[in-house]
Amino acid sequence: MQKVTIATVARRAGVSRQTVSNVINTPDVVREETRERVREAIEELGYRVNQAARQMRTGRSRLIAVRIEPARDGINGSVLDRFLHGLTDAAGLAGYRVMLYTAGGDADEIATYDELLNAYDLDAFVLTSTHHGDPRTSWLAARDVPFVTFGRPWGAPDTHSWVDVDNAAGTAAATSHLLSAGHRRIGFLGWPAGSGVGDARREGWHRAAGLSALSATSSDGVEPGAAAAKSLLSRPEAPTALVCASDSLALGALQAARELGRDCAVVGFDDTAVAQAIGLTSVSQPLAEAAARCMGLLTELLDGRAPSLPTTVLLPPSLVVRQTA
């Protein structure tokens, strides 16, 4: 099977190479009849535009890059993977492909940008896990590289487009659910202040639960969560329900309650595999939609019809009610 180029198609359809190119890139400029004939030839020959050649001419690769992270504590790591899947789907629909890379830290990641940009002419980046003082966004912005972030620019002005999930709304919904189930003392188990995501999750609970409610903080993980929950449940006026900043913490809370022989409703966050497996009520992020919206913003950027102001998208999470609350 010989390689099929634009010339092969042209010969088959009895037109010039240029006409074939027009049919592909600017169809409306070609007469209906000719267009049809060319399309048939393309079909019959199974012709596909060669990206490398196109890229060399246009300087665009139709490739976008995303970093794949190691599955950190494993329990919450799957969030990124579901996002990745959604992004690959959405990119494919828009005629783009997703390229993966790994990086050890921000500096390492920036070096990778440089390489990817120079060697592969990447069209855009999707950044995840944004954090306070993130150097990646400013690097990209300084070079006019198109990008969107999944996660808002914590502590920085909105100088670029982003998509995020309304974390506060998630914990607020969880708290409301507990309130309407009759709970009156609803506690919060979260991370130490300073992480944007963690603070937002606390704030949503705080708003809905009222001032008198108890809270505790611990680093993420089942063990630390159990310890913190235990101290919370041992106080006078102990909460009868706990909203947690992650499924890991929620699992810890569940263990603490069991060990103490206490009945305590628990809600987690992220609706991970663990939550599904053990019947933990949890706040679920709309990851496929988030990915699709990221891709949508990106195509706007790449097609040049970018709005003058950066677009921001805040998606509401949903509560998945199971046995624990």
**By the criterion CB under 8 A, which residues form the site for its own copies?**
4, 46-53, 55-56, 61, 63, 68-71, 73-75, 77-78, 81-82, 84-85, 88-89, 92, 97-102, 114-115, 118-121, 222, 248, 251, 272-274, 276-278
Under the binding rule (CB under 7 A), the answer on residue 78 touching DNA is no
Give the whole-angstrom CA distance, residue 113 versus residue 124.
Answer: 10
Give the whole-angstrom CA distance, residue 160 versus residue 309.
Answer: 8
Counts for the chain of helices (H) and strands (E), in that order: 13, 12
CB of 1 vs DNA, minimal distance in Å? 12
φ/ψ (deg, to 5) at 250: -60, -40
Give the whole-angstrom CA distance, residue 209 versus residue 187.
Answer: 8
Taking CB under 7 A as the binding criterion, the range among 4-12, 127-135, 165-173, 233-241 that sits at the site for DNA is 4-12
From 40, 58, 73, 273, residue interacting with DNA (rule: CB under 7 A) = 58
Taking CB under 7 A as the binding criterion, the range among 3-11, 87-95, 192-200, 303-311 that sits at the site for DNA is 3-11
From 36, 44, 56, 74, residue interacting with DNA (rule: CB under 7 A) = 56
Q: Is 24 or 99 the residue whose CB approaches DNA more closely?
A: 24
At position 208, the amino acid (one-letter code) is A
Q: Is 47 or 150 the residue whose CB approaches its own copies more closely?
A: 47
- CA separation, residue 214 to residues 43, 195, 207, 255, 299 (Å): 66, 20, 13, 19, 45
Asked if 80 and 69 touch (Cβ cutoff 8 Å), the reply is yes
Using CB distances below 5 to 8 A depending on partner kind, what does residue 248 bind out of DNA, its own copies, none?
its own copies
CB of 121 vs DNA, minimal distance in Å? 9
From 11, 45, 50, 165, residue interacting with DNA (rule: CB under 7 A) = 50
Using CB distances below 5 to 8 A depending on partner kind, what does residue 29 bind out of DNA, its own copies, none?
DNA
DSSP string of 122-162, one letter each residue? --EEEE-S--TT-HHHHHHHHTT--EEEES--TTS---S-E
Give the whole-angstrom CA distance, residue 130 versus residue 127.
Answer: 7
Using CB distances below 5 to 8 A depending on partner kind, what does residue 314 bind out of DNA, its own copies, none?
none
Quote the distance between the C-alpha of residue 9 and its chain's center. Answer: 41
* Contacting residues toward DNA, per CB under 7 A: 3, 5-7, 15-19, 21-22, 24-25, 29-34, 47-50, 53-54, 56-58
